A = this chain, B = another copy of it.
Amino acid sequence: MSELFCEGEYALLLLDRRRRYLVKLEKGKRFHTHRGFLDLDQIIGRPEGVAIESSMGVDFYVFKPSLWDYVESYERPTQILYPKDIGFILVYADIGPGCRVLEAGVGSGALTSFLAYHIRPTGRVYGYDVNPRFIEVARRNLERTGLLGYVELKLGDVYKGVDERDIDVAILDVPSPWLAIDPVYRSLKPGGFFVSFSPTIDQVEKLVESIEAHRGFIVLNVLESFTRSYKVRRGETRPETTMIAHTGYLLFARKLSLQF
């Protein structure tokens, strides 16, 4: 038994691995592609994984979108994090159901969405951004994926401090993370994880220097990650020709207990 597509929900139309379209299923509507249009009525009431024929006779496969499918289609006024970085953060900073996570530099809400998805149902994400427009975009994006209920979006400057205490993990994606060291220290519980994502190595260097001067954390790791996709077919298997060379550096630290 599988759930069928309902009117009003989103569907992922997949032609091949590159051509993927996120579409809201509305009665009587058509979705136009360069391979002909699809009547969305054809999808409503059908199960996942069926092939829908376009007006040009091309088959599109229809799926419930994964969270990453949603995030890829997000309205994006900012650069977003990629699965390679998001996944590493989840694993390395021990983020799972029940965690209380502080995020500063919410941007488009991509990482926020994954945090919300993984701390469900009892955890909570506190997401700060100084830009009211980003807060609005992130709210819309989270609403569409049904994850807004797990997130408290807050217009505010992490450099000036945050309200939350006893946080499990604090994640920064801000231009001057060193200005947030003390606010992060105060918000985290002892042993809590401090994660920072920075596009430039200079930011990481300055952050490490400032953390060492502050003495409230121990740095566990600084790293970058890569993924390389392959074209696989008997006799023609090879990596794709280009890849993302850089998104940013990840720093992981844990909070020390100074006053004991």
Contacts and interface: CB of A to CB of B under 8 A. Distances in A.
Nearest to A89: B87
Contact of A240 (B66, B226, B234, B245): B245
A50 B257 contact: yes
Contact of A222 (B67, B120, B232): B232
B83 A88 contact: yes
A235 interface: yes
Copies of this protein, total = 4
A227 interface: yes
A255 B14 CA distance: 12
A34 B121 CA distance: 44
Contacts of A245: 228-229, 239-243
Interface in A40-75: 46-51, 61, 63-64, 66-68
Interface string A100-127: 0000000000000010011011000000
Interface residues of A, number: 85
Interface in A228-260: 228-246, 248-249, 251, 254-257, 260
Count chain B CB atoms within 10 A of each CB in A84, A209, A230 and give the residue with the most.
Answer: A230
Contact of A14 (B87, B117, B218): B218
A191 to B, nearest CB: 3
A131 B46 CA distance: 40
Contacts of A22: none
A123 to B, nearest CB: 9
Given A87-B87, A120-B97, A236 B48 contact: no
A204 interface: yes
B222 A209 contact: no
B89 A118 contact: no
B88 A92 contact: no
A84 B94 contact: no
Interface of A: 1-2, 14, 17, 46-51, 61, 63-64, 66-68, 83-84, 86-94, 96-98, 114, 117-118, 120-121, 166, 189-191, 193, 199-202, 204-205, 208-209, 218-246, 248-249, 251, 254-257, 260
Nearest 6 A/B pairs, CB to CB: A87-B87, A48-B191, A243-B245, A239-B246, A49-B257, A66-B94
14 contacts: A17-B221, A46-B260, A68-B94, A83-B87, A84-B88, A87-B91, A90-B91, A96-B120, A97-B117, A201-B201, A202-B237, A204-B232, A226-B228, A243-B245
